[in-house]
Amino acid sequence: MEKMKYIMRFLTAMVVCLSLLIGCGDTYLGVEQVVIDTNRPDKLTVNKVVAQSGALEIHFSIPAGNPNIDQVVATYKNKKGENVEFKVSRYSSTILVEGFTGTDEKSIELACVDVSGNKSDITTVNAAPLLSPLEIAFESLFVEPAFGGVRLKWKNNNANPLAIHVLTEDILQVGVVSLVEDPTKTIYNRDSVNTFAFVRQYPSIEQKFGFTVSDKWGNRSDTMINSLIPYKEEEIEFKYVKAVSFFNPTYYAGSRDYGIYGVNPATGIQNDANAHAAGNAPQTMFNGVTSGNLYYGYKFVKDLSNTDPSKRETVHDVYATFDLNMEARLNRVKISPRVHISYTYSRSSPKRFRIWGTNDANSARWAKFPEGWTLIGEYVGKTPVNLASLTDEEKDWFNNNQEYLINEDNVNPDAKPTEPFRYMRLQLMESYNKNEAYYTINEFQMFGEILKRY
């Protein structure tokens, strides 16, 4: 009996397999099978070639009446002797062939390929591209000394992906100094506007730097070599910076009425903000602590006592004043905000601020403002593409690398970023959420050239 069951199952399986084989003659599960042939398609016709930067845009027509043509392939050999291939579908009439350097004539081979993999005879195009993005960047590359290093500028008008490689002096063997690439300093650029960068930190002594440019196609420029002396940059040590009380800062856990507390009646100058408590005083911006819940300064409110909230007006400008106990020319400042995610590009974190400076020559510095003071610069924080979905890079900049270059990032044409000063008045102008009643900062770091200590 068991033997009979085995025979029946075997016969059933054979019948099913035969049925499938018979049914697969033209279709399988309703999908038509591709007919394979060996007939080569006719050649394509090139109609026009447009030279572009490091590329050739080739306009073509495929042979008429051949529905089996699947794609068009363009191939050339790069400087390493490797084949570089580009493909477009049959529905395209142009193909962009990229990755060239130089403006001499290039040879590109084009062919049609059908659904069976058959390739047509080759159509050869000989044409010269325009100067490549890599070469434009290299020829426009300008290097100059900067605080703590060097500053580079270049052109990348079409926002092509480029990398600038930095070579610095290194002793590979005793008595021999060579230029060696430092991969930690490589600059990656895919932007037509932000085409500058700083390379730091280096001592303020004459030294050689080398720079080369590469692109995504593996092309690499020659090496530009410069002998430069970086400007000396020092951190303005927080232990020397002291908050001053000449503009009447106070402690109070809330906003105060501008008409009563906001202005010094003797001078007509707006007072410094009231801090939430002693642990949130202006001095906490200069204590070396870059995390926590430190400076917490309230905005004044006009007509605060008015029972109708619509009649109240928030004064968004908040001041804090300091004595650096040295005369310095700033190069950059770095803000450490409250690090909780709710403060990242949000809430009371400062978005726009100004730096005012003066020195001992201004004997009326505590009685007059802004008269006698110099606007060093005005700065605006970045705005993320999508606040609801911050990228890791956006979060890292805001919380760890929120840096402002005193000269390059200044947005106020009336400012004098190179002016040295001893006394600083920090003016917070706008928070990321204007509805917040206060500003918060953990640390305000400054870097530059110290001209004199007191």
- Smallest CA-to-CA distance from 321 within 439, 242, 438 is with 242
Could you give all domains of the chain from N- to C-terminal order, each with its CATH number?
A: 45-127 (2.60.40.10), 133-232 (2.60.40), 238-453 (2.60.120.260)
**Contact (CB, 8 A) for 191 and 156:** yes
What is the phi/psi pair of residue 273, to 5°?
Answer: -65, 160
pLDDT of residue 148: 86
Q: Where does residue 267 fall: left (phi above 0), alpha (psi -120 to 50 degrees), or beta otherwise?
A: alpha
* Residue with the two structure tokens 């009646």: 265
**Contact (CB, 8 A) for 240 and 324:** yes
DSSP state of 18: H
Structure tokens at 265: 């009646």
- Smallest CA-to-CA distance from 199 within 176, 167, 158 is with 167
**Contact (CB, 8 A) for 76 and 89:** no
pLDDT of residue 282: 98
Using CA atoms, how far residue 150 sits from 185, 199, 254, 416, 439, in Å, is: 12, 5, 46, 22, 34
pLDDT of residue 22: 46
pLDDT of residue 207: 93
pLDDT of residue 25: 45
pLDDT of residue 23: 47
Q: What is the full per-residue pLDDT of the chain (454 aa) written as tens digits?
A: 455 555 555 555 555 444 544 444 444 445 555 557 788 999 999 999 999 999 999 999 999 989 999 999 999 999 999 999 999 999 999 999 999 999 999 999 999 999 999 999 999 999 999 999 999 999 999 999 988 899 999 999 999 999 999 999 987 666 667 899 999 999 999 989 889 999 988 998 999 999 999 999 999 999 999 999 998 889 999 999 999 999 999 999 999 999 999 999 999 999 999 999 999 999 999 999 998 899 999 999 999 999 999 999 999 999 999 999 999 999 999 999 998 889 999 999 999 999 999 999 999 999 999 999 999 999 999 999 899 999 998 999 999 999 999 998 999 999 999 999 999 999 999 999 999 999 999 999 999 999 999 9
**Rounded distance, CA 419 to CA 411, Å?**
16
**Rounded distance, CA 324 to CA 18, Å?**
93
**Contact (CB, 8 A) for 210 and 180:** no
Using CA atoms, how far residue 414 sits from 20, 331, 375, in Å, is: 84, 18, 7
